[in-house]
Structure 1
């Protein structure tokens, strides 16, 4: 029952957010085009519900010659981030195109953040706690508990907690904590 209610809420809220943020998203797209060469939208394969792969959408924040690995594996990611990209990441505006992933059913507003397709260890740990059995989220419990600043083991612990305690009130709290974290740029590693 909760899963059906959650999906209806995802559709309604993502549609409303697309309407509200439509003009700012167009402005960001224009600024990306003016800032650097390459596409406006960055697409990357990610495992979704039941590990089925989908293309996640983000505003491109890095140069087009950046290796396709997690930011933590780049060594010094600042050499790849565009001028505008630093601001987009810090403000989390780079995530706005994922509203379309939510609308299409690839993602939910709240759930475990989708791993990279080649983060096999993280995906395996999530299998053990059931986190791969639900839609990944635009935000999640692990994001509000540390985001980029916590280990994969800690993320999986928070994912496990979310899977075991999923309910409307927890989702509302996570959305509230996310808004607070975004405004304060908490837990974001951009360099």
Structure 2
């Protein structure tokens, strides 16, 4: 019952009230982003959703305009493409707030595997176990966020995503929701560079 309808109903309710309550704050953030650097306040990008169907994800822009063309999809701590406001948004995960719109529209859930770029899953698409992550809607928070955030390898992320799908329950979702907030508050593992000499991808 939870997996089929209650989870979706809760996502609608939480995202609706979240958007209403946070709307003034979102406007303020958008103004600061525009004042800090040239470009739109909202960053849009195609990601893979449920059943591997693409959808447009919304985030607050944290990098300079046309950052992808300048240096590719990966970023790292101290990346000159990251704006001053963007650095703060990333550390606090406030750049993810606009995804409440995706949740309300039914493209995402509060808890679920993080949506990634189509090309990032391409090398793993023949792996039936990893593909389980697409049996559910992608989420604003996921199991990998609790301990790893950006430092997790793709293999570890997909393993944890598949395990989450197999064990999804209201208790697990509430537990992950609370634990993720602790991780974000501690500002842990914002960039992969914190553990290895690589960069944060599209998570």
> TM-score scaled by structure 2?
0.87
Q: Conserved in 2, the CA contact under 8 Å of 1:17 and 1:99?
A: yes
The answer to whether 1:2 aligns with 2:2 is yes
- CA distance 1:188–1:82, change in 2 (3 Å): same
Which runs of no fewer than 5 residues in structure 2 stay unpaired? 194-203
CA drift at 1:12: 0.3
CA drift at 1:123: 5.3
Superposition map of 1:59-138 within 5 A: 59-67=60-68, 69-71=72-74, 74=75, 78-121=79-122, 124=125, 127-129=128-130, 130-138=132-140
Corresponding residue of 1:28: 29
Root mean square deviation, CA, Å: 1.9
2:186 to 162, 178, 184: 184
Corresponding residue of 2:174: 172
Q: Conserved in 2, the CA contact under 8 Å of 1:48 and 1:136?
A: yes
Q: Compare 74-83 and 181-190 and name the one that shifted more.
A: 74-83
Q: Conserved in 2, the CA contact under 8 Å of 1:126 and 1:159?
A: no
CA drift at 1:178: 1.1
SS in 2 for 1:135: coil
CA drift at 1:76: 7.3
Aligned length: 189
Superposition map of 1:134-145 within 5 A: 134-145=136-147
2:162 to 160, 163, 167: 160
> TM-score scaled by structure 1?
0.92
Q: Distance in 2 between matches of 1:54 and 1:123?
A: 20
Superposition map of 1:15-54 within 5 A: 15-54=16-55
CA drift at 1:127: 4.6
Q: Distance in 2 between matches of 1:27 and 1:137?
A: 25
